[in-house]
Amino acid sequence: MKILIADSMHPSLFTMLEAEGWEYAYHPEYKREDIIRELPEYEGLFIRSKTFVDLEVMQPAKKLRFIARAGAGLDLIDLEIAKEKGIEVFHAGEGNRDAVAEHMLGMLLGLLANIVKADKEVRNGIWDREGNRGVELMKKTVGLIGYGNNGGATAKRLSGFGCKVLAFDKYRDNYGDAFATEACLEEIMKEADILSLHVPLTDETKYLIDQKFIENFSKPFYLMNLSRGKVANLTAVVEGLKSGKIIGACLDVLENEKLKTLTEEQQAVFDYLINSNRVVLTPHIGGWTHESYVRINEVLLRQIKEWLVMA
């Protein structure tokens, strides 16, 4: 099998492919036009986040049998076109679920305990103990929207803090387990002290968190977004922070992560976020650990091998 790797990957992938006897070409420097030009010669495509794999990419690739996405989200692939053309799509949701769960906890604890704020102050010679009195995570009610790989791994870790975890997943039934109770969205909006998002970006989830959603929460809450930036309308999030309905926010993702291309409105929102002591920001690194970098490859290879056996 001949595979094009068109994005940066951990070197462990090469050893795994060679062990299977599969031929590959590694071109992380390829741009969209290069992928479109070269892909017709390959049966497989590995990507991370470089380009949207749509009809323009898939149409000329007559030999293409599968696309492997080194990550959890599939919003970079036109799944309907892939299905029409009989192209199998793989993703490594379980490959970075532990990294995402740990990152979520790190951000949340950093916010609740004022760790990020206090660190900045101490570095500037400010020793303010009372102003940095923290809030405990213990026994808080956490609402998870989306209960797949990342949601489940997050709930498991929250259980160690004695949290009550409510999970809502529109596309699953009977998914409650030892770590989370199945709940409707209304229950979460009524009871949650903390809301954490674990959904892909789709037409249904785009701007799920808007002004109306925030206002419908029964009490002030903390917002966590480690999913996709456009799941939360950041203008609405800022308004929620200003009104006090959102106590604090941890954002690993933004609507526009190319910071040099922000619109005037996006820049104003971004300026508020970076100047707020009630916001913790990281650059989309929730699933970005040294361990997950390797594990993602292992998950993808296992899925491809299982598929080939069944094909």
* Phi-psi label, residue 189: left if phi above 0, alpha if psi -120 to 50, beta otherwise: alpha
Average pLDDT over every residue of 161-183 = 96
Q: Which two tokens stand for residue 254?
A: 């933004």
Q: Which two tokens stand for residue 175?
A: 């998914």
pLDDT value at position 84?
Answer: 96
Over residues 143-152, the pLDDT tens digits come to: 999 999 999 9
Q: How high is the pLDDT of residue 67? A: 96
Binning pLDDT at 50, 70 and 90, where does residue 68 land? very high
Residue 25 is predicted with a pLDDT of 97
Q: Is 284 a catalytic residue?
A: yes
Residue 85: exposure state from Cβ atoms within 10 A (0-12, 13-18, ≥19): middle
Mean pLDDT, range 195-214, rounded to an integer: 95
Q: What is the pTM of this model?
A: 0.91
| pLDDT at residue 311 is higher than 80 | no
User: Quick one: average pLDDT of 159-176?
Assistant: 96
Catalytic choice (65, 69, 97, 228): 228
> Mind spelling out the 3-state secondary structure of 6-30?
CCCCCCHHHHHHHHHCCEEEECCCC
Between CA 269 and CA 283 the distance in angstroms is: 16
Q: Of 84, 186, 215, 257, which one is the catalytic site residue?
A: 257
Query: pLDDT for 279-290, tens place per residue?
Result: 999 999 999 999
pLDDT at 71: 82
Name the catalytic one among 48, 157, 172, 284: 284
Please give the pLDDT value at position 262: 97
pLDDT tens digit string along 76-113? 899 999 999 999 999 988 899 999 999 999 999 999 99
228 catalytic per annotation: yes
pLDDT digits (tens, 9 = 90+) for 23-36: 999 999 999 999 99
Vertex 221 angle, CA 220 and 226, to 5°:
155
pLDDT of residue 93: 82
